[in-house]
A and B are shown apart, each in its own frame.
Chain A
Amino acid sequence: MAQAFYREAIRDALAEEMRRDPRVFVMGEDVAIYGGAYSATKGLMEEFGEDRVRDTAISEAAIAGAAVGAAMAGMRPVAEIMYFDFMTIAMDQFVNQGGKNRYMFGGKTTVPMVLRTEGGAGRCIAAQHSQSLEAWFTHAPGVFVVAPATPADAKGLLKTCIRDDNPILFIEHKMLYGVKGEIPDGEHLVPLGKAAIRQEGSDLTIISYSRMANTCAEVGKKLAADGISAEVIDLRSLKPLDTRTILESVRKTGRVLLVSEACSNTNFVCEIAMRINEHAFDYLDAPIVRVCAADVPVPMSPTLEDAAIPNPDRIMEAARKLAKGEV
């Protein structure tokens, strides 16, 4: 096992898949010479040339749409949208064209493409560069949504996504690029629709994804020191969702805390609560609890940014209360 940064894991996944399959190529703003705004495509142009690593104009709709068209015409594009916030501009192409063409055309086409983007708060770059818009996309039929939290999962999932025949939104987190982790040697693939249990436990289940999954794993360790046994689930894929792993855990613990960095209202975790309600209601010993971002545009000022998004203390407090039956 070797150690690698999250950003290196992304780059290695791209490089390995590009070596393996000549149909795979990369395009996006500043991905070639510059190596990506968060350096996740560094060195690719040098290895694969400008034909397969393409700098584009600042044209988010055309980037996403060109990926759809290239995919339908026989390539396997990996396009980058520099910030999740800019996905709003690319959304029609990804959701209305990419996500629906297969169904609308009677199953007679596939759209094998990955849109990589990077979301989340933490850098004081305010409301148009810090969002977590995953729920906008999990809502759309025809597209998959993944959000890896660790370098190993970033690598393994990206490789799987590139090989998959569906349009996939691959959400990285801006605060994770500099995080280091162990990556299994050799060919490393992580399946879609498979959650990771980051810590086993019996008192409550904490469910999260992306950066917050790491925060929850830390919280889980601290809770153990207090004698609270938390099971921490990192979803990794939001769609397809590993409902079975969630249900098994809920049947064991009877208490559920959902954590997400996206705004609270209509957060993706509401879907998880609903599935638990549908399939494991009788196992619940307490109401399901959530810790999500405040329903505000992400503020710039560090005090406000911290107040707006979940932090370890608030997650900890919610977990303690839930475990002690105080909700």
Chain B
Amino acid sequence: MAMRDPVQGKVGRKDDMRFLLKQMMQIRAFEDKVFELLARDILKGASHVYAGQEAVAVGAMQAITDKDLITSTHRGHGHCLARGGTLKLMLAELCGKETGYCRGRGGSMHIADVNAGNLGATGIVAGNIPVATGAALACKMRNQGQVVLCFFGDGASNNGTFHESLNMAGVWKLPIVYIIENNLYGMSVSVKRACAVQDIATRSSAYAMDGVIVDGQRVLDVQATVAEAVKHAREGKGPMVVEAKTYRYRGHSRSDPRVYRTKEEEAYWHDHDPIKLFRELLAAQKVMTEAEMDAVEAEVDQEMAEAEKFTLDESAYPPAEAVFEDVYAGWIQGKYGLEPIQK
């Protein structure tokens, strides 16, 4: 299966391009900060960082509107930010603070902003795919023109839920776009060793839907490709698969020494860095000057510093007494077990 033709050169309005650049820079800055805080043991728990894959989330999210829905993965910081998340509330969540998106109950692997249409990240690889499919069923039944973007990795596409869900969406022609972020590895196992096909988008043909491959390092290509798929879904023509070829820079998680891949391979992808490529494009097309782009980066650094201050200095942990809250809607643990909450 061939990669979709590049749309390079067709840049948009300066404000829009600045916005894309800034979002990618925000994600990169966020992930760098996460790594630093992990190393200093200020940030607890697991964090899977998105550095290297920024163009996928940022490009894809440009293709949908506020009323649409997304589901995310264990590598979900980029999706949350690109869907409108703020650095402050995201960092607070990762650090387990009450001020975070999920009031510190979910952390990195379960970051969600349901009110903003982000139905959440999951720690069960491929666990979000049936949920996204059901959300798309709801969209179809409610008939308000909504679509769902379902993000997941190459590794997730080997799980049974991927196949069950795509079949269901294919049968019911659901308004959903499955976005496979093929970063060449599921933890340490390469696509070559885990996937019977190397172009995962080809799996779409088994479920009567179109699949397309896009260069996941080029934000405008991702945007254009996902926009076409979203249009298709919104018009009632059914689901589509978009496979974005991309790469994660960091180890799978903080303890990963990356022995399963080579320095040369890493260098190749750093050379195809999504932010670098976009900066080069904007400069070549004279959309933004280097100085203007540096200024965006400085702005992001400033915001990141504020987010860190907000999280570490100005945000409290949830009180221990709150441990039983919100397990159930309308019920809470009482002396003899669950009791209805008195209104």
> Is chain B a partner of chain A in the same complex?
yes
A interface residues (Cβ-Cβ under 8 A, vs B): 25, 51-52, 54, 56-57, 59, 61-62, 64-75, 77, 92-93, 96-97, 101-110, 112, 141-142, 144, 164-166, 193, 239-241, 243-244, 247, 275, 279
B130 x A64 contact (CB < 8 A): yes
Report the minimal beta-carbon distance from B254 to chain A, rounded to whole angstroms.
Answer: 21
Residues on the B chain within 8 Å of A72, using CB: 114, 119, 131, 134-135
Q: Which residue of B lies closest to A98 (CB)?
A: B131
Q: Do B164 and A57 touch across chains, with their CB atoms under 8 A apart? A: yes
Return the chain A residue nearest B159 by Cβ. A61
Are B327 and A69 interface neighbours, CB within 8 A? Answer: no
For residue B330, which residues in chain A have a CB less than 8 angstroms away from its CB? 164-166
A193 (CB) vs chain B CBs: closest residue: B338
Q: A56-B168, A92-B127, A103-B105 are in contact. Are A70 and B137 (CB under 8 A)?
A: yes
> Which chain B positions have C-beta within 8 A of A107?
103, 105, 325-326
Can you list 16 contacts pairing A with B, beta carbon distance less than 8 Å? Answer: A57-B168, A61-B164, A67-B134, A69-B119, A69-B135, A72-B114, A72-B134, A74-B142, A75-B141, A97-B122, A97-B130, A104-B105, A105-B120, A109-B119, A193-B338, A247-B336
Expressed in whole angstroms, the minimum distance between the Cβ of B235 and any Cβ of chain A is 19
State whether the Cβ of B315 lies closer than 8 Å to any Cβ in chain A: no
Looking at the assembled complex, report how far the CB atom of B187 sits from the nearest CB atom of chain A, in whole angstroms: 19
In addition to A66-B130, A97-B122, A164-B329, 13 A-B residue pairs with Cβ atoms within 8 Å of each other are A51-B141, A61-B161, A62-B165, A62-B167, A62-B168, A66-B165, A69-B137, A72-B119, A72-B134, A103-B105, A106-B103, A108-B102, A108-B112
A165 to B341, CA, bound (A): 13
Taken together as a complex, chains A and B put the C-alpha atoms of A271 and B104 apart, in Å, by 30
Contacts known (A102-B329, A165-B329, A279-B336); A96 close to B127, Cβ less than 8 A: yes
Name which residue of chain A comes closest to B326, CB basis: A107
A268 CB to closest chain B CB (Å) equals 13
Which residues of chain B come closer than 8 Å to A66, judged between CB atoms? 130-131, 133-134, 137, 165, 168
- With A106-B101, A243-B336, A275-B337 in contact, do A62 and B133 touch (Cβ < 8 Å)? yes
Q: Please give, as numbers and ranges, the residues of chain A lying within 8 Å of B119 by CB-CB distance.
A: 69, 72-73, 109
1/0 contact string of B299-343 vs chain A (CB within 8 Å): 000000000000000000000000001111111000011111000
Instruction: Encode contact with A along B117-128: 1 for CB under 8 Å, 0 otherwise.
Output: 001101010011
A92 lies within 8 A of B124 (CB): yes
Residues in chain A near residue B164, CB distance under 8 A: 57, 59, 61-62
Residues of A within 8 A of B134 (CB): 65-73, 77
Is A106 in contact with B161, judged by CB distance below 8 angstroms? no
Known A65-B131, A105-B106; contact A243-B327, beta-carbon cutoff 8 A: no
> Do B124 and A65 touch (CB < 8 A)?
no
Chain B: which residue is nearest A113 at the CB level? B134
Q: In the bound complex, how far is the Cα of B92 from the Cα of A106, in angstroms?
A: 13
Contacts of B200 on A, CB cut-off 8 Å? none
**Top 6 closest pairs, chain A to chain B, by CB:** A65-B130, A69-B134, A66-B134, A107-B326, A106-B103, A73-B138
Cα(A154)–Cα(B340), bound, Å = 21
A-B contact count (CB 8 A): 171
- Given the complex of chains A and B, what is the CA–CA distance between A52 and B132 in angstroms? 19
CA distance A54 to B114 in the complex (A): 26
Bound complex: CA A52 to CA B172 (Å): 12
Q: How far is the CA of A93 from the CA of B128 in the complex (A)?
A: 9
Nearest B residue to A111, CB-CB: B329
Minimal beta-carbon separation of A134 from chain B (angstroms) = 16
Fill in one digit per residue for B270-284: 1 if any A CB lies within 8 Å of its CB, else 0: 000000000000000
Cross-interface CB contact of A240 among B114, B124, B325, B331, cutoff 8 Å: B331
On whether the beta carbons of B112 and A69 are closer than 8 Å, the reply is no
Among A62, A68, A97, A166, the residue within 8 A (CB) of B329 is: A166
**Across the interface, which residues of B come within 8 angstroms of A109, CB to CB?**
112, 114, 119-120
Q: Is the CB of A73 within 8 A of B130?
A: no
By a CB distance below 8 angstroms, the chain B residues around A73 are 69, 119, 134-135, 138-139, 142
Docked CA distance A104–B137 (Å): 23
For the complex formed, measure the closest distance between the CB of B15 and the CB atoms of chain A, giving whole angstroms.
31
In the complex, the chain A residue whose C-beta lies closest to that of B146 is: A73
**A-side contacts of B171, CB under 8 Å:** 57
Q: Which of A51, A105, A165, A279 has most chain B Cβ within 10 Å?
A: A105
B233 at the interface (CB under 8 A from A): no
Is B129 positioned at the interface, with any CB of A under 8 Å from its CB?
Answer: yes
Question: Which of A57, A59, A106, A142 is the most central at the interface, judged by chain B CB atoms within 10 Å of its CB?
Answer: A106
Nearest CB in chain B to that of A51: its residue:
B141
Q: Is B173 an interface residue (CB 8 A)?
A: no
Q: A51-B141, A65-B161, A110-B329 are in contact. Are A96 and B133 (CB under 8 A)?
A: no
Of A54, A72, A164, the most chain B CB neighbours within 10 A belong to A72
Residues of B within 8 A of A96 (CB): 122, 124, 127
A109 to B339, CA, bound (A): 20
A297 to chain B, nearest CB (A): 24
Contact check, B337 vs A108: say whether CB atoms are below 8 A apart: no
Asked whether B138 lies within 8 Å of A244 as measured between CB atoms, the reply is: no
CB distance from B246 to the nearest CB of A (A): 25
